Chains A and B, each alone.
Chain A
């Protein structure tokens, strides 16, 4: 019995060392799903009012875009979601997004985050997560 308890205790200690559950993810720091949904909603509005970027969305299913972007943002900031959409390469296939328009869209995302009350430092961390995906998005 004692051996068993010791073993269990050791296992617990080891488990907590090797696989620590993070105290707070970026997802929780920014305010969880409520903020994620607000960012997505603001982002869609920013796109709607941008004469250049709206062109890329003319034939898009906005409902699906809203759902998948929300999952994507939730998943990559460490939230309790699965991303069920297509890869970034598939999503942007054939869109021929230029470097200029990509950066313009980043500016719209920054506006969306600012309006959702996400602070500067959290914005940077979110951008840092998505920056490496750029090569799968532009000139596809």
Chain B
């Protein structure tokens, strides 16, 4: 968390000295940054774009996420650029620490998302976007050892619908996202892609549901379905989150995440912490 604080204060200094704040969207409509660096919830990419750019603006954001479950740690950080509330380009880095084995797996992710239709608040129908996340493992030896068909790189494709309903939950604003992801990834790609038995793209449904308790506080739950290509009992993921969105400069999220069985270690549960800062 110290490094996160340091990064944040450097970022704040950077923004206050040199750049005009991009604030063309309403507070919290930029959402958060999901684990692979795309604008979203925590685990699920949403149709909203990371950043507060309106159709006349460009935005930039940086994020850092730390997930700590029983036998593993995942550190993720990255940056995204929003172009005219139409296109989002993102980069992210994952460091996955196998605490018990003393090993580490890292990967790079580049992402792109295009908003196809709508505005998350104002349009009659949900905002719709398509995106991809291309991931490259730094060292595929562990992926190869557990039986991945491809231990080098892979690409996920997704289609997402997201909507805010003003005042819909007894006067509170409701937000939901449903995302369909075509993927071959084993555990986010950290364990490679596919296996000898199962090497086809499969469609996985993901969803988030949240309530904004005030302009600054939101709570919600998420679900992410995952394939089990390796036959290691890879489980679907769940989380319950609390987000603090005090302004358009940054937001903080804490979540309780249930990541199930990861590479043979069962019931991997723990804390998810994330911060995103915006230009």
B54–A127 contact, CB under 8 A?
no
Q: Tell whether A121 is near chain B: CB-to-CB under 8 Å.
A: yes
Q: Tell whether B108 is near chain A: CB-to-CB under 8 Å.
A: no
Bound: A39/B50 CA distance, A: 32
Chain B 14-50 interface residues, beta-carbon cutoff 8 Å to A:
23-27
Query: B residues within 8 A CB of A128?
Result: 165-168
**Cβ contacts B172-208/A at 8 Å (1 or 0 each):** 1100000000000000000000000000000000000
**Cβ contacts A96-111/B at 8 Å (1 or 0 each):** 0011100110110010
Given A121-B172, A131-B122, A135-B122: A103 and B166 interface contact (C-beta under 8 Å) = no
- Chain A interface residue count, Cβ-Cβ cutoff 8 angstroms: 19
Query: B residues within 8 A CB of A132?
Result: 122, 124
Give the total number of A-B pairs whose CB atoms are below 8 A apart. 54
A106–B26 contact, CB under 8 A?
yes
**Cβ contacts A64-106/B at 8 Å (1 or 0 each):** 0000000000000000000000000000000000111001101
Query: A residues within 8 A CB of B215?
Result: 110, 120
Minimum CB–CB distance for A25 against chain B, Å: 14
Is chain A's binding surface mostly helix, strand, loop or mixed? helix
Bound: A67/B66 CA distance, A: 53
Query: A residues within 8 A CB of B55?
Result: 98-99
Minimum CB–CB distance for A95 against chain B, Å: 15
A98–B54 contact, CB under 8 A?
yes
Bound: A103/B23 CA distance, A: 9
Query: A residues within 8 A CB of B170?
Result: 121
Q: Tell whether A45 is near chain B: CB-to-CB under 8 Å.
A: no
Bound: A110/B76 CA distance, A: 35
B54–A103 contact, CB under 8 A?
yes
Given A121-B172, A125-B166, A134-B122: A100 and B26 interface contact (C-beta under 8 Å) = no
A125–B54 contact, CB under 8 A?
no
Q: Tell whether B121 is near chain A: CB-to-CB under 8 Å.
A: yes
Q: Tell whether A140 is near chain B: CB-to-CB under 8 Å.
A: no
Query: A residues within 8 A CB of B104?
Result: none
Bound: A106/B215 CA distance, A: 13
- Chain B interface residue count, Cβ-Cβ cutoff 8 angstroms: 23
Bound: A121/B167 CA distance, A: 6
Bound: A124/B215 CA distance, A: 10
A98–B56 contact, CB under 8 A?
yes
Bound: A125/B166 CA distance, A: 7
Interface centre among A103, A110, A134 (most CB of B within 10 A): A103
Residue of B nearest to A119 (CB): B171
Q: Tell whether A122 is near chain B: CB-to-CB under 8 Å.
A: yes
**Cβ contacts B103-128/A at 8 Å (1 or 0 each):** 00000000000000000011010000
Bound: A107/B25 CA distance, A: 10
Given A100-B24, A107-B26, A124-B173: A131 and B57 interface contact (C-beta under 8 Å) = no
Query: A residues within 8 A CB of B100?
Result: none
**Cβ contacts A112-140/B at 8 Å (1 or 0 each):** 00000000111011011001101100000
Bound: A124/B171 CA distance, A: 6
Query: A residues within 8 A CB of B165?
Result: 128
Given A103-B25, A103-B54: A120 and B166 interface contact (C-beta under 8 Å) = no
Query: B residues within 8 A CB of A107?
Result: 26-27
Bound: A104/B25 CA distance, A: 8
Binding site for B on A (CB under 8 A): 98-100, 103-104, 106-107, 110, 120-122, 124-125, 127-128, 131-132, 134-135
Binding site for A on B (CB under 8 A): 23-27, 54-57, 85, 121-122, 124, 165-168, 170-173, 214-215
16 contacts between A and B (CB under 8 A): A99-B85, A100-B54, A103-B54, A120-B171, A120-B214, A121-B167, A121-B170, A121-B172, A122-B171, A124-B167, A124-B171, A124-B172, A127-B167, A131-B121, A131-B166, A135-B122
